[in-house]
A and B are shown apart, each in its own frame.
Chain A
Amino acid sequence: MDKYHVVGHSLPQIDGRERASGAAEFVSDMKLPGMLYGRILRSPHPHARIRHIDTSKARRLPGVKAVVTVQDTPQIPFGPRTDDWMIMALDKVRFVGDEVAGVAAVDEDTAEEALSLIQVEYEPLPAVFDPLEAMKPGAPLIHDKERNIVSEFKLAKGDVEKAFQESDVVHSDRYYTNQVYQAYLEPMACVVQPDLAGKLTFFISTQIPSMTRLPYAKALGLPLEKVRVVVPYYGGAFGAKMETNLHLVAAVLAQKTRKPVRMVNPREEDFMAGNPRVPMYIDLKIGAKKGGTLMGKEVRVIGAAGGRVVYSMVIVATACYRPDSLYHFQNLKTEGVTVYTNTVPTSCFRGFGNAQMTFAIESSLDMIAEAIGMDPAELRIKNGLKTGEVSIHGWKIGSSGLAECVRKAVEASGWQEKRGQKRFARGIGLACCNHVSGNRAFAREFDGGAGIVRISREGKVLVYHGESDMGQGQKTIFAQIVAEELGISLDQIEVAPVDTDISPFGMGSFATRGTVFGGNGVKAAAADAKRQILELAAEMLEANPKDLEIKEGKIFVQGSPEKSLPFQKVAELGLYKRGGAPIVGTGFWVPDTVIPDPVTKFGNISPAYPFACQICEAEVDTETGQVNLLNYVAAHDVGRAINPQTTEGQIQGGVAQGIGWALTENMVTEKGKVLNPNFRDYVIPGPLDLPPIKPILVEPGEPNGPFGAKGIGEPALNPAPAAVANAIYNAIGVRFTELPITPEKILKGLKEKK
């Protein structure tokens, strides 16, 4: 049913021309008058005391304008979730790459040379790299705490022991999801510009423009109003681009020199000091009846935080309990531990703990399906949550397209036929996932979305929002929503860059919340603007505003389209009538979600839950261990696709990342040092490495979503590693529980099987 004019159509990106032509100015392209270039001196040790820093030689190098250390900061402990960060190291360094000093110079070469002139006297300390080791009593302590455990998550429901006793099949395994790097094409970057009054403008690639001001202001000892964030075009993030000391060191240099300072991570440093995925050990035990009913689940997650906490503890918590609302688990025992390690701080990467846990659960369910002789697809449908149901944790499933996703994926992939065949070293595997569209538990303050819509005399519309477009196409989605709400065409809409001096306070782009929260926020603002336009039009048409509608840019009384006024004309005349004041609509949307109970974890945390089913067909070369992916189908419940083409692109990109994680991506470390901090040795999929990926959009309509939409970003990746692992198992009968599944592991597995 094509009742919408703009929403639901695959319209081209509104900023496509800027990106295609090279005209779009990314953060790392920015140049301001008087700008200096900054670099950071990073620790070569995973754990060491700092005895002395001598910056004198560096300061004397011609072209160097400032060299800073923690002494040039207020030394206030801060952090996104815990107060264990310092802008630069105070007494200790805790990972290879930890920030020790900063330099600002007239060009990048001079800044780099200055780094080599800074002399630091370190006293190396014993270090610990694996969270299992770091948890043990007697392990070297990384922060001033009694132990390296950052936080623990505990949850129990029903009686798992009884559930396992009543099960016909119990499957137990340990999974390891390795540390992978988001590998966005534009490294982390910033330009920080000071003004005479001490206000700092951060031009940064950030997913959280409003939220990031709080820890930044705290760290710099500034009142919040002195911290302004502007978000230019930036080249991808996938979760990584939240708080980072890169921005703060640049800020300190900007304060010292009173000049703008640009700092861009060289790629090698971005690997070393970015925010890679939280690696996890997952011990998972699931019991099921032979009819396919899942009886109970016991899980223990141990995740590495790295040298300081970014969001790892929230990610471990998410891993612990998100799939409890994918399937009907009635008996649960869950434990999660987040542990400091002397490695690069870990953080958000598409999936946020649910990706790691989905790999484990979907692999285990594959084994259970085999043990009870049930089709893995049927097992998912049997246990999956349906529209209108409430999960064990009180999550209200307003819409669930899970069963339809499974059926459509099964149909499109030739699942039945291929499962039935015995083909040498060729297999087909299936995996599902759930996710959220926004997470009330993420920040205490609120979860909601807001917008401002400004209509000019020419009838052009400028939309302000507070979220962040990292390339996922958010701007166009917001523009489509506003155009649809106002009854005008997409080409009349422009979306302003986020500037925290002007834009609404947005929580930001994470937890797959952009479309639902930001979308509903700008929709509400557009509705407010529409109300004002219709009041003005009503006077001009001598009608009741309630009787008016706007369609394709024309305003008329319902039923009498021949007597219409152009939208632009009403905007123009309205402006003259109001002394030049433009029509400005503001609006907001706050769902009735809750922060879960701290003990029971009960509470509906999201207004909408996306679901998905992906099916992968693989062929294994039993001589070389290489895996060749033949076909891939990804069916996603997105509520309604605001822009089907953009949604498909997100699915294909997420699947590609999941495939890379499953087969080739691994941050190889030795004594805390990343040995492969480059694209030659850290292998992300290239154009020859991917199968055709067929996206299928399932649109049951989501009551809480703007025009029925839910999110897509993270669910696009979640099922992929298990779909690949399950395909490999189907092909060669070897189960891999550790990522990535490399040729070496495959050959070893085949050998052991013999």
Chain B
Amino acid sequence: MKYPLTITVNEEVYELEVPANRTLLDVIREECGLTGTKQGCGNGECGACTVLLDGEPVNACLVLALQANGKRVVTVEGLSEGEKLHPIQEVFIAHGAIQCGFCTPGMVLSTKALLDKNPHPQELEIREALTGNLCRCTGYQKIVEAILSLKA
């Protein structure tokens, strides 16, 4: 049994039919074909699937696709404009905040959610905002330094 789903992802409207148990993460990666959003655990524990849902950071693996009906989703692909990367992405690169890159899309979106609310966060506020995003490569320090370097 499939249900109608209308979601806007990175300003593009998708009209789909999905089963009730399909997650937003699956829809983003499969139906929308946007694989920048990653699956790291499927349990909402690692944050690799972080997207913005009506501006709020969520673990897409824990959101049923139908819960996002009529809502706006922003994924990492929606941050860059063609060749031009978002300033958050630029500072991540400049500061060596990316190693394997698997956590990066989620980190970048959690960062955007933070900066949208708090354009000049202190280090502790940054670390708190990123507690939902695990990274195993970097030890987080260069990620934090990258974000601190943004004068918003």
Contact = CB atoms under 8 A, between A and B. Distances in A.
Contacts, number: 172
B98 A13 contact: yes
A652 interface: yes
Nearest to B132: A686
Interface in A682-708: 684-688, 690, 692-693
A266 B85 contact: no
Interface residues of B, number: 53
A446 interface: no
A472 B101 CA distance: 10
Nearest to A24: B101
B136 A183 contact: yes
Given A26-B102, A235-B100, A655 B136 contact: no
Contact of B101 (A19, A650, A653, A686): A19
A147 interface: no
B112 interface: no
Nearest to B129: A687
Contacts of B70: none
Given A236-B100, A656-B140, A20 B93 contact: yes
Given A19-B101, A266-B42, A648-B96, A655 B139 contact: yes
Given A13-B98, A21-B85, A23-B36, A684 B134 contact: yes
Q: With a 10 A CB-CB cut-off, give which of B89, B104, B139 has the most chain A CB atoms.
A: B139
A732 to B, nearest CB: 26
Interface string B75-95: 111011000010001101111
A371 to B, nearest CB: 34
B36 A688 contact: no
Interface stretch (A184-192, A437-445, A496-504): A184-192
Contacts of A649: 96, 99, 137-139, 142
B104 A20 contact: yes
A267 B40 contact: yes
Q: With a 10 A CB-CB cut-off, give which of A16, A183, A187 has the most chain B CB atoms.
A: A16
A24 B103 CA distance: 12
A580 B138 CA distance: 44
Given A12-B93, A646-B96, A679-B43, A233 B101 contact: yes
A99 B40 CA distance: 22
A10 interface: yes
B131 A688 contact: yes
B80 to A, nearest CB: 5
A20 B96 contact: no
Contacts of A22: 34-37, 75-77, 105
Nearest to B108: A20
Given A21-B76, A687-B127, A687-B140, A679 B41 contact: yes
A28 interface: yes
A17 interface: yes
Contacts of B29: 29
A185 B103 contact: yes
Contacts of B94: 12
Nearest to A682: B45
Interface in B93-126: 93-96, 98-105, 108, 126
Contact of A693 (B38, B45, B139, B143): B139
Given A20-B89, A21-B80, A29-B35, A185 B48 contact: yes
Nearest to B76: A22
Contact of B102 (A235, A653, A690): A235
A17 B100 contact: no
A259 B52 CA distance: 36
Contact of A21 (B46, B89, B130): B89
A184 B100 contact: yes
A573 to B, nearest CB: 31
A751 interface: no
A17 B85 CA distance: 8
A456 B102 CA distance: 32
B102 A236 contact: yes
A20 B140 contact: no
Contacts of B89: 17, 20-21
A657 B138 CA distance: 10
Interface in A647-695: 648-650, 652-657, 678-680, 684-688, 690, 692-693
A6 interface: no
B130 to A, nearest CB: 5
A238 B41 contact: no
A471 B102 CA distance: 9
Interface in A480-534: none
B131 A28 contact: no
A472 B136 CA distance: 11
Interface in A1-53: 10, 12-13, 16-26, 28-29
A652 B139 contact: yes
A146 to B, nearest CB: 41
B136 A693 contact: no
A119 to B, nearest CB: 25
Interface string A254-279: 00000000001011000000000000
Interface in A233-247: 233-236, 238
B135 interface: yes
Q: With a 10 A CB-CB cut-off, give which of A649, A657, A684 has the most chain B CB atoms.
A: A649
B41 A690 contact: no
B145 to A, nearest CB: 10
17 contacts: A10-B96, A18-B101, A185-B38, A185-B103, A185-B134, A235-B38, A235-B101, A235-B102, A238-B136, A472-B137, A473-B99, A655-B139, A656-B139, A657-B136, A686-B131, A687-B140, A688-B131
Interface of A: 10, 12-13, 16-26, 28-29, 182-187, 233-236, 238, 264, 266-267, 470-473, 645-646, 648-650, 652-657, 678-680, 684-688, 690, 692-693
Given A19-B104, A21-B77, A471-B102, 14 more contacts: A13-B98, A21-B76, A21-B79, A26-B35, A26-B102, A186-B38, A264-B39, A649-B99, A649-B142, A652-B139, A653-B139, A679-B46, A684-B134, A688-B127
